[in-house]
């Protein structure tokens, strides 16, 4: 009888540990999804000046991309790129 009780206690402990492991994996996967979405959002925000430049049809889009890619992290260049993309006259004929 005591072996049965010990086996049941061990089984319950194993189930609790397994349940905690599954819960931790689920939380990790949820955090990975959130981190991935945040990375996509921040990447889009980082390349916002280049996107505006391309959508408005301004010339030298590849130059704007490389300046944004290499120097956008300085924030001053990113703000400069955003301002120039917004105030430069569009190359499209409307």
Question: DSSP letters along 74-89, please?
Answer: GSHHHHHHHHHHHHSP
Task: Count the alpha carbons within 13 Å of 8 in the hemisphere toward its beta carbon.
Answer: 5
Burial code of 9-48, b = ≥16 C-beta within 10 A, e = fewer?
A: eeeeeeeeeeeeeeeeeeeeeeeeeeeeeeeeeeeeeebb
Tokens for 58, please give them. 């301004």
Residue corresponding to tokens 């924030």: 75
Q: 24 pLDDT exceeds 80?
A: no
Tokens for 24, please give them. 């931790």
- Percent of the chain predicted with pLDDT > 90: 22
Q: What is the DSSP letter of 57?
A: T
Please compute the mean of the pLDDT values over residues 40-52 and round it to a whole number: 90
Higher pLDDT, 87 or 36: 87
- Structure confidence at residue 46 (pLDDT): 92
Please compute the mean of the pLDDT values over residues 11-29 and round it to a whole number: 74
Residue corresponding to tokens 């959002």: 41
Q: 92 pLDDT exceeds 70?
A: no
What's the whole-model pTM score?
0.64
Q: 26 pLDDT exceeds 80?
A: no
C-alpha span between 93 and 31 (Å, rounded):
46
């Amino acid at each position: 009888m005591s072996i049965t009780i010990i086996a049941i206690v061990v089984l319950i402990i194993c189930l609790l540990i397994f349940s905690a492991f599954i819960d931790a994996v689920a939380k990790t996967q949820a955090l990975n999804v959130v981190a991935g979405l945040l990375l996509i959002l921040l990447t889009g925000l980082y390349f916002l000046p280049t996107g505006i430049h391309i959508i408005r049809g301004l010339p030298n889009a590849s130059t704007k991309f490389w300046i944004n890619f290499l120097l956008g992290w300085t924030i001053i260049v990113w703000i400069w790129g955003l301002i120039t993309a917004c105030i430069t006259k569009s190359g499209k004929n409307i």
